[in-house]
Structure 1
Amino acid sequence: MNSTIASALAITPASSARERTIDITTIGAKTGRVRRIEVWFYRVEGEIYLTTSPARRSWYANLLRHPDFTFHLKHGIRADLDAHATPVLDSDARTRLFAAIVDDLNQPRNPAGIPQPVEPLEEWVMGSPLMHVTFPNGENE
């Protein structure tokens, strides 16, 4: 694995909003059209996840239907990574992972520069999409 890619994926709670921001290219669940959008990614327990504040998201529907997508790094390095998304549906896993994400977003230093506090943990667990991201070509090793 390229060390610059590994560094870009190795975000921490100290990472800025810019460092967390990527684009993803998905295939539309209903239309079959290519869709590229900007999202944040998170690293919890050494793994990569996609999520957002509680709401329905078209990117989530797209990844449920077509789990293979492109993960575009764009800060520090420009790289287009083949990726695969798996929904996290187990309630215990969701609670554990969202607890880490909410703690990260609510930290006092607030390197991401977001309004705080974010929605309560229970709202994230019940209403937010959560995808575990893996890289078939080894970027997450």
Structure 2
Amino acid sequence: MTALDHLPDRIRRAIEITPAAGTHERIVDITTIGRRTGRPRRIEIFFYRAHGATYLCSGAGGGATSWHANLLANPAFTFHLKNGVRADLPAHAFTVTDPTERADVLAAIVDDLNQPHDPGTIRPTRLQDWASSRLMRVVFD
């Protein structure tokens, strides 16, 4: 059993992207709760798959992001599939702090983005550029 087995097949397949997935399939919206306002905040963001898990990442440069700060304050959020399959999925975000896990996941993300067919349209990218990225594991409720 995997962490996505409780989801309908069409939704699970939309989340379990492979390296062959194009840019369009990698984009979702998330709705977080504003840490100061308490209001819902919806943004468009890339999601990533690595080692059988789903992640949100701030990308190269690692600058502060509102979505990350909101999830630190309230880890419950909604993951909105919108390209092909549409679904609003309740989820929780967990900060990846273990250095080994961070390194493994970021390396997998960078390897995926550096493929010849350029799935993330940000090629080329280097692992060291992603070292300070905000990285959160997504667990679907």
Fold-level match, TM-score > 0.5?
A: yes
| Corresponding residue for residue 124 of structure 1 | 130
Count of residue pairs brought into register by the alignment: 133
**Gaps spanning 5+ residues in structure 1: where?**
137-141
What is the CA deviation profile of residues 73-125 of structure 1, one whole-angstrom value per residue up to 9, with x for unaligned ones?
0011110000000000111111110000001111112133x13212x212312
The one-letter amino acid of 1:101's match is I
1:1-141 alignment runs, 5 A limit: 1-53=7-59, 54=61, 55-112=63-120, 114-118=121-125, 120-125=126-131, 127-136=132-141
Paired position in structure 2 for 1:139: none
Quote the Cα distance in structure 2 between the aligned partners of 1:96 and 1:22: 23
| Partners of 1:27 and 1:78 in 2: CA distance | 21
- Where does structure 1 differ by over 3 angstroms across 4 or more consecutive aligned residues? none
* One-letter identity of the residue aligned with 1:58: S
Q: Secondary structure at 2:46's aligned position in 1? A: strand
Q: Separation in 1 of the partners of 2:130 and 2:119?
A: 20
| Secondary structure, counterpart of 1:50 in structure 2 | strand
Once superposed, what is the RMSD of the aligned Cα atoms? 1.1
Segments of structure 2 that go 5 or more residues without pairing to the other structure are 1-6
TM-score for the superposition, normalised by structure 1 = 0.90
Q: Tell me, in whole angstroms, the C-alpha distance in 1 between the residues paired with 2:93 and 2:119.
A: 27
TM-score (norm 2): 0.90
